[in-house]
Amino acid sequence: MKIGLLTNRTEISAGLYLKDILHRCDRAMIYVFIAGSYFPWLTLEQLPDESWASQMKWIVWLLAILGIMYQQIFHEKYKRLETIFYVVMGVGPVLLILNELFICVQCLLCCDLNS
């Protein structure tokens, strides 16, 4: 009976350890998914070469790596901050690219008005 209890407790402990590993991997994959979703779009989009938007495809991957490192170090410690990181990483590139495109449109309109 004692062997059965010990075996059962060992299985539960191993299951909790596996659950923690899988949970950490799941959280890390959120960052990879966000960066992977932006990368093809940022690669194919014609953006001004001298702007931040043209480098955003690499910045997104850098943010993903930093987010994964943060998440692994401070796992489940600062959940709200982690959620803010997800939102900033998800919305930040779009806002920057929309700003760049807005500036390009303004420049085109000013050039047309001056002609």
Residue type, 106: Q
* Predicted local confidence at residue 5, as pLDDT: 47
Residue type, 12: I
In this predicted model, which residue has the larger pLDDT, 60 or 57? 60
Among 103, 27, 71, residue whose Cα is nearest residue 95 = 103
Instruction: Please name the residue that has the structure tokens 């990181």.
Output: 85
In this predicted structure, the answer to whether residue 60 has a pLDDT above a threshold of 60 is yes
In this predicted structure, the answer to whether residue 25 has a pLDDT above a threshold of 80 is yes
Give the global pTM: 0.68
Given phi > 0 = left and psi -120 to 50 = alpha, else beta, which region is 78?
beta
Instruction: Please name the residue that has the structure tokens 């170090």.
Output: 73
**CB atoms near residue 35 (< 10 Å):** 24
Tallying the residues shown for the chain, one arrives at: 115
In this predicted structure, the answer to whether residue 96 has a pLDDT above a threshold of 80 is no
In this predicted model, which residue has the larger pLDDT, 51 or 7? 51
